Amino acid sequence: MSIHLRKGRSSDLPFIYKLVQELAEYERAADQVTASLDDYHRDFQNGDFQFIVAEKENTIVGMALFYLTYSTWKGRMMYLEDFVVTFDHRRQGIGQLLFDGVLKEARDQHCVLMKWQVLDWNTPAIEFYKRNSAILEDEWLNGKIFLNPA
Residues marked as catalytic: 129
Radius of gyration for the alpha carbons in the chain, expressed in angstroms and rounded: 15
Instruction: Report which DSSP code applies to 4.
Output: E
**What are 128-136's contacts with CB under 8 Å, separation 24+?**
128/95, 128/96, 128/99, 132/96, 132/99
Instruction: Determine the Cα–Cα distance for residues 21 and 116; give it in Å rounded to an integer.
Output: 18
